[in-house]
Amino acid sequence: MGLCFLIFLDGMPPAAFAQNLPTRINIVVVAGEGASTPVRRRVTQDPAVRVEDDDQQPVAGVTVVFALPISGTSGEFVNGAKTLAVVTDKAGVATARGLKTNEIPGTLQIYVNASLNGLRARALINQIVEGVPGAPIPTQHPAKSSNTWKWVLLGIAVAGGAAAGVYFGTHSSSSNPPVTIGTGTVVFGSPQ
């Protein structure tokens, strides 16, 4: 019986012994909430979050996606996109560096989604984008739907599903050829 147990353990990866996987994750905003930045500038305080487990301990290796609105008060990340994926460090912290605001003053809402082994957590970071005194305020076109959050989650779910398809397609033990799934262009925002 002891030999069977040792044979069973021999096939397990070392990481299975080194850590207890959390049953829940939570996002705590650690930087960026309430920060104020002029239009068309790099934010004065990079948005940052810490991902914690059930016992409020930091969790490393969690994928965190920061997403910006597609219209209104918004901006872009250093990669020129409205979304940025960052993996938490050993302190459980993920920071969205290089965010630059657009020309529309107002409240910038930064949506944050974390995922690990099927566990998910969400948060929202609000920053202020200040207009230039005396400058005209750019006209904003009303969005067709005020529920932008559902479109952000839909885009993240599509990207996650595609990644899972690629993983399982290339790690199959059968003789079938690997399957590759492409997501095309994912757009966050209200349906057109």
Please indicate, yes or no, if residue 82 is contained in any of the structural domains: yes
Q: How far apart are CA 175 and CA 187, in angstroms?
A: 36
Q: Which domain holds residue 178?
A: 143-192
Please indicate, yes or no, if residue 98 is contained in any of the structural domains: yes
10-residue mean pLDDT series, the chain (192 residues) = 45 52 95 97 97 96 97 95 97 97 97 96 98 68 51 55 50 48 51 51
Token pair in block for residue 73: 């008060």
Please indicate, yes or no, if residue 137 is contained in any of the structural domains: no
Q: Which residues touch 132 (CB under 8 Å, ≥6 apart)? A: 38, 39
Give the pLDDT confidence score for residue 21 in this predicted structure: 84
Specify whether 149 is located in the same domain as 70. Answer: no
Closest CA to 110 of 137, 87, 91, 128: 128
Specify whether 192 is located in the same domain as 112. Answer: no
Please indicate, yes or no, if residue 138 is contained in any of the structural domains: no
Can you give the CATH number for the domain in which 23 is found? 2.60.40.10
Please indicate, yes or no, if residue 182 is contained in any of the structural domains: yes
Specify whether 34 is located in the same domain as 104. Answer: yes
Q: How many residues does the chain have?
A: 192
Please indicate, yes or no, if residue 154 is contained in any of the structural domains: yes
Count how many domains the chain has. 2
Specify whether 101 is located in the same domain as 179. Answer: no
Question: Looking at 76, 109, 130, which one is the last position of a domain?
Answer: 130
Note whether 26 and 62 are within 8 A (CB): no
Specify whether 113 is located in the same domain as 63. Answer: yes
Specify whether 85 is located in the same domain as 172. Answer: no
Amino acid, res. 111:
Y
